[in-house]
Chain A
Amino acid sequence: MERKFIEYDFGRVDSERMRLNVGPQHPSTHGVLRLEIELEGEIVTDVIPHIGYLHRCFEKYCEQMQYPQVIPYIDRLDYIASMNNEWPFVMGVEKMMNIQVPERVEYIRVIFAELNRIANHQIAVATFGMDAGAFTPFLYLFRDREMILNLFEHTSGARLLYNYFWVGGLAHDVPPNFKDTALNIIKTVRATNEEVMRLLMGNKIFVERTVKVGILPADVAINFACSGPVLRGSGVEWDLRKAQPYSIYDRFDFNVCVGSNEIGVIGDSWNRNIVRMNEMEQSCRIIEQAIAQMPNEGDVREKFPKKVRPPKGEIYCSAENPKGELGFYLVADGGNKPFRLKSRPTSFVNLAVLPEICKGYMVADLILILGSIDIVLGEVDR
Chain B
Amino acid sequence: MLVQEIYDNLKEKFPEAVLEFIGTATGDPSTVVDAGQIYNICKYLRDQDGLEFDYLALLSGMDYKDKFGTVYHLYSLKYKHRFVIKTYLPKEDPSLPSVERIWKTANWHEREAYDMFGIKFENHPNMIRILCPYDWEGYPLRKDYVGQETYHGVRIPV
Q: Which residues of A contact B (CB under 8 A)?
A: 51-52, 55, 57, 59-60, 95-98, 220, 222-225, 236, 238, 243-244, 310-311, 313-316, 318, 325, 327, 329, 331, 340, 342, 344, 348-349, 352, 356, 381-382
Interface stretch (choices B6-14, B33-41, B127-135, B148-156): B127-135
- B58–A329 CB distance below 8 A: yes
- Interchain residue pairs A-B with the least CB separation, the first 8: A225-B105, A315-B27, A313-B27, A52-B131, A342-B60, A344-B58, A313-B24, A55-B131
Residue among B30, B57, B58, B141 with the highest chain A CB neighbour number at 10 A: B58
Total interface residues on B, CB under 8 Å, equals: 31
Contacts of A51 in B (CB 8 A): 130-131
Contacts of B56 in A (CB 8 A): 225
CA distance A316 to B57 in the complex (A): 10
Contacts of B30 in A (CB 8 A): 314
Q: Give a binary string over B112-152; 1 marks a CB under 8 Å from any A CB, 0 the rest.
A: 00001000000000000011110000001100000000000
Query: B25 at interface (Cβ–Cβ under 8 A)?
Result: yes
Contacts of B133 in A (CB 8 A): 52
Contacts of B84 in A (CB 8 A): 316
Number of CB contacts from chain A to chain B under 8 A? 89
List the A residue with the shortest CB-CB distance to B142: A60
CA distance A315 to B28 in the complex (A): 5
- A60–B141 CB distance below 8 A: yes
Q: Which residues of B contact A (CB under 8 A)?
A: 24-28, 30, 54-58, 60, 62-63, 71, 73, 77, 80, 84, 103-105, 107-108, 116, 130-133, 140-141
Residue among B73, B105, B141 with the highest chain A CB neighbour number at 10 A: B105
Contacts of A356 in B (CB 8 A): 104
Given contacts A236-B77, A244-B80, A316-B73, contact A225 B55 (CB under 8 A): yes
Interface CB pairs A-B, < 8 A, 26: A52-B133, A55-B131, A59-B116, A59-B141, A95-B27, A222-B55, A223-B105, A224-B103, A225-B55, A244-B80, A311-B25, A313-B24, A314-B27, A315-B26, A316-B58, A316-B73, A316-B84, A329-B60, A331-B62, A340-B60, A340-B63, A342-B58, A344-B73, A349-B105, A381-B131, A382-B131
- A352–B25 CB distance below 8 A: no
Contacts of A95 in B (CB 8 A): 26-27
Given contacts A95-B27, A222-B77, A311-B26, contact A327 B105 (CB under 8 A): no
Contacts of B80 in A (CB 8 A): 243-244
CA distance A225 to B56 in the complex (A): 6
CA distance A224 to B132 in the complex (A): 22
CB of B78 to closest CB in A, whole Å: 10
The residue from B55, B108, B116 contacting A352, defined by CB atoms under 8 A apart: B108
CB of A192 to closest CB in B, whole Å: 34
Contacts of B105 in A (CB 8 A): 223-225, 349, 352
- A222–B54 CB distance below 8 A: yes
